[in-house]
Amino acid sequence: MTPRHHKRNYLAPLTHCFQLLVLMMFYRRSKPTPNPCSGCHHLNDTSATMKLTLKNLHPTATSLLHVLSMLDGTSIPEDMLIRWRLLATAGNYPFGRDEYLIACAALVAAEMVTRDEKAGVLRVESGVQEVVRSGLDREEFRGAFNTAAVLLAAVWPVGGEEGEGNGGMEKIRVYLPHVRKLRLVLEERGVEEIKPVLVTASLFNEASWAYQLFQTGSRLEIADEYAALAEEVAEASEEDDDYNEQFRSKILCDAYRFQGTIGGCLGNNKGLLYARKWIETLGERRAKSWQEKGDEMALPMAYNEYGRALMWVSEKEEALRYWGLAREKILRNTGKGQLPFPFPWINSALVHAYDGNTALAESLIIPILEKRESVLGKDDAETFETGLVLICAGNVRRAQGRRDEAYALFQRAFSIVPVATGKRSLWSTQAYYRLAAEEYYQGRYAEARDLLIEMVAFIDTGPWLEVIAARGNWKLAKTLMKLGDPNGAPEAQEMIEQSMGVWRNLNPGDNRTAERLKDEDWDQSVFYLYR
């Protein structure tokens, strides 16, 4: 029991201060080392010996170590552990800053952790973490896991509000390894046994969004796995009061959204299924008066994703109808001076442009671009949506034969998208390819070659990316041939053969040679999202 439960002891504060001073002197003398747990002799001890050491720790130090074992031990920010300590759910987690420092100093003294005071991080060897977790019963594991999740959720740039700009991206990169670790340790015991707090599902949704935003290829599969895990955690949660029922509904909306969006990227059956689930869940929230401010904008976003999924099953007219509904609702809910969610305009304009209705396509996308320029300025390089609007506008101008204008738009897009989303993003493949194609058209083959080489190099493997890589290889081979480099001829021929194999699988019966194909031919065959 603590002194607060007894008659006031006037010596206790002095004793506490002296104890804190001694420990802090030791704590500040501890120097950061390149390798966590200097010497790491605990890793060579038997598990039994190490567990005996753990038993001799003060309960607050033990509780802190339990939480640390759930996070990525490479670098754990102390600010997250101290600043948000009152959110902790583990029973003996250090309540105050002084208690935290004492507990942490005890762990440093026991060589369970190291502290880099200058960087403000703790480090824990993975072997130590494994032994700690293996000794936890169900309730201890659950308490430590949930505390780690709650502390992490408090510092995450939730909802993408910061994540759309470059500042939020840096925060996500700091904390994403800890979400990955939470997923790994959860899989040790299973969702049904641990039944994590709902905020864990929200974190998994945020991780899904991060992987969608910044990565391609196998990373999309990982994003889908995180969204599916968020759905599983939300369904298994035992927090069933009114507030958490509404929170669960919101989490499920996001999980359905991400699985539907990713399904629309990969062309699998989850696109239609989960976009429809998203729409239905939004309807249920409205019927139960659970609507939040964001729900009004979420419904047209769901319509947009459903339209994209419909394109995979050749339901173009129905897709256009849903995009029209999305545009109507967005305009109704967009206030003066606000920017509309641009994707229904982008999608509709692309379809009309490739169908030859370029005037209609222009009437859709150019006003959206002009609106963004008036609000954000022509030099906006923070929001990736601006880059995607520029790519779409460039495609429309190209379809109209206004190639100089298209080139200028693609140049602007290229200056934005790879910076905002990373070079490996799906959106960056569009920016690279479109600028390269215009460089080729203008006769600047060396510039086109350099862009295409870089683009093809960072396209990850995966059947849904095969067509993108094939088109890139086809264009790169043609570019190398234009440059007339004899050393590149064998490589160019190999790329032609690979790309034409993909082309013929997409277009059975089309026996045209690679030389006779044009960019427009690939545009009509490449998966809809990647045009």
DSSP 8-state code for residue 4: G
* Exposed / middle / buried, residue 400 (Cβ in 10 Å: 0-12, 13-18, 19+): middle
- Separation CA 350–CA 393 (nearest Å): 9
Tell whether domain 15-136 is in CATH 1.10.10.
Answer: yes
For the chain, the straight-line distance linking the first and the last C-alpha, in angstroms and rounded, comes to 67
Question: pLDDT value at position 528?
Answer: 52
Angle, CA of 499, 463 and 251, to the nearest 5°: 145
Q: What is the pLDDT of residue 88?
A: 64
* Domain locations along the chain: 15-136, 156-298
Buried/exposed 448-465: b ≥16 CB within 10 Å, e otherwise: bbebbeebbebbeebebb
Give 123's strand partners: 114
Distance (Å, whole) CA 196 – CA 225:
17
- Distance between CA atoms of 67 and 121, rounded to whole angstroms? 14
- pLDDT tens by residue, the chain, 531 residues: 333 333 333 333 333 443 433 334 433 444 444 444 444 444 454 566 666 677 788 999 999 999 999 999 999 999 889 876 666 666 788 877 888 999 999 999 998 999 999 999 999 999 999 999 999 999 999 999 999 999 999 999 865 444 444 457 788 889 999 999 999 999 989 999 998 999 999 999 999 998 887 655 567 889 999 999 999 999 998 877 778 899 999 999 999 999 999 888 777 889 999 999 999 999 999 999 888 878 888 999 999 999 998 988 889 999 999 999 999 999 998 888 889 999 999 999 999 998 999 999 999 999 999 999 999 988 787 788 999 999 999 999 999 999 999 999 999 999 999 888 888 787 888 899 999 999 999 999 999 999 999 998 877 666 667 888 899 999 999 999 999 877 778 889 999 999 999 899 888 889 899 989 998 888 877 655 544
Identify the bridge partners of residue 76 per DSSP, sorted by sequence position: 122
> How high is the pLDDT of residue 487?
74
- Taking the C-alpha atoms of residue 183 and residue 179, their distance in angstroms, rounded to an integer, is 6
What is the rounded CA–CA span in Å between residue 427 and residue 397? 19
| Adjacent-strand bridge partners of 116 | 121
Residue 212's pLDDT is what? 85
Contact 266, 464 (CB under 8 A): yes
Structure token digits, residue 512: 């045209």
